[in-house]
Structure 1
Amino acid sequence: MSDLLPAEIVDLARRVVEENAKIGRKVALAESCTGGLVAAALTEIPGSSAVLDRGFVTYSNDAKQQELEVSSELIETFGAVSIACVWAMAQGTLKHSSADIAVAISGVAGPDGGTPLKPVGTVVFARACREGDGEPEGEMKQFDGKDRSEIRRQATLAALELLLP
């Protein structure tokens, strides 16, 4: 049991590590609003080194551009909290890793920063696989968190779910 993270996150991370290890699949992450929580959850699990290749915490737009090659035009057009941005982040993660699958997360954790179109609690996710047709897999979720920590907790759980085979 972990004292660092909630049991539900650690339990789900354990499933992600065990199930991906069984099929020999490596994962990588690009995290913005979760700030590395998904990677932290995975590394709580013994044996995670067999599964987790790397994680990028690209909190700023500059980091998304420099580390993951997300274009400034894409961010200016759609915003950092958009399916287009997280899809580009996931693609950049695959390009700069040895992973078979990448998950990217960006969102508005609050308490500030929300807009009428993207209120606090808006989080976008994308999953990209090295093998396959390359079709974008992404979704936008609206979490109703009482505070920043709750939104980040829910986003971490949702991202871990995307890493299950």
Structure 2
Amino acid sequence: HGSGGNQPLPIEEAIGYMDPSIYELVRNFKKEKTGELCGLWNSRAIAGKGLSVILTKACVAKVGVAIANVLELRSLFVLCAPYTVKMVEEVGFEIITSLGEEGTFPYPKDDMIATALMIRDVAGLTKADRDKRDDIFNLRHIPRQVRKEQGTQGLLDIEYDLYIPHLDEEKEGFS
């Protein structure tokens, strides 16, 4: 979800009533183009099947960060469940400790906790783990590929097709 015009980012709508400072934080990053990764929530019905790890780590986090660079976003926000915090930190997100209770909020319900995080340098990913950064740079360079990804149930072949034709018809990759 990209930030632009008068439409707020989902994170603003989700936590703004609990901590209004999110509005100023997003406004400061809107100047240089920001966005939000959404969809880092899974149903408890699929818990224990290993799908949430693959969906979050391999697909949403890596792919979202790779595509954010293509869209020329300079920063990226995310609001995620406790079990996905480490996964998004590995790709360069940092907890926004100035918000809520050290970055956490009762969300999406009062009996659940969500953590607000952001990447301040989508292009360089200086806070990402080296291997995750290399994976993302590889996806930017080769947007169509099959990779082996580690899930809780073992290795899986994941087919990535991140090519976005209307953005740049001439490029082989995104970098």
- TM-score computed with the length of structure 2 as normaliser: 0.35
Decide which structure has greater helix share.
1
Higher alpha-carbon Rg: 2
- TM-score computed with the length of structure 1 as normaliser: 0.36
